């Protein structure tokens, strides 16, 4: 009968660990002691130590699972790769921002140069127009002066002809 109890206790401890609700390590030790005593041995402590109550109590507390070293290594690699990817993304973003700023500055400079060229072209056209108008004005003055001189000569000739006739 003790063998059957021990077998069940062992199965429970193996499957659910020392923090299970059915059997403690101390109870299993007691079953082992009785089995040895039933076999005719007087002192079971020759084979198994007694489990102090504080150790039995400590064993009943759920133990945090130790993380798998391979899993930890994979997690560290994953975190390192994520950090590398994050840094690459940040560098890419910064590079794109700098390129965008450079493109904007280049566009501003080009626009300023285009505006300056248009101002110079407009100023040159205005100067050409002024000179053309000045030449046209000078020609018109000369034409008018010539016309006036011609009319004066004609008038003088007419006056001379009028003054000679009667006499």
Q: Which residues contact 3 (CB under 8 A, 6 or more apart)?
A: 35
Q: How many other C-beta atoms can be found within 10 angstroms of the C-beta atom of residue 30?
A: 16
- The 10s digit of each residue's pLDDT in 117-165 is 999 999 999 999 999 999 999 999 999 999 999 999 999 888 888 766 5
- The 10s digit of each residue's pLDDT in 81-110 is 999 999 999 999 999 999 999 999 999 999
Interior CA angle at 32 toward 31 and 33, to 5°?
90
DSSP 63: P
Q: What is the pTM of this model?
A: 0.40
CB 29 within 8 A of CB 48: yes
Phi, psi of 47 (to 5 degrees): -105, -40
Distance of alpha carbon 80 from alpha carbon 84, whole angstroms: 6
**Local structure of 15: helix, strand or coil:** helix
Question: Cα–chain-centroid distance for residue 92?
Answer: 7
The residue ranges of every structural domain in the chain are 2-60
């Amino acid at each position: 009968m003790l063998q059957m109890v021990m077998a069940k206790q062992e199965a429970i401890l193996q499957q659910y660990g020392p923090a299970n609700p059915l059997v403690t390590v101390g109870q299993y030790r007691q079953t082992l002691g009785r089995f040895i005593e039933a076999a005719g041995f007087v002192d079971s402590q020759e084979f198994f130590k007694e489990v102090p109550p504080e150790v039995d109590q400590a064993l009943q507390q759920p133990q945090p699972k130790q993380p798998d070293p391979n899993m930890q290594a994979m997690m560290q690699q994953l975190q390192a790769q994520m950090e590398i990817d994050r840094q690459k993304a940040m560098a890419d973003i910064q590079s794109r921002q700098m390129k965008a700023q450079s493109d904007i500055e280049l566009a501003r400079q080009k626009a300023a140069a285009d505006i300056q060229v248009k101002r110079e072209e407009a100023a040159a056209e205005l100067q050409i127009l002024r000179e053309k108008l000045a030449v046209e004005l000078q020609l018109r003055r000369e034409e008018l002066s010539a016309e006036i001189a011609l009319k004066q000569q004609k008038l003088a000739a007419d006056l001379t002809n009028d003054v000679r006739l009667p006499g």
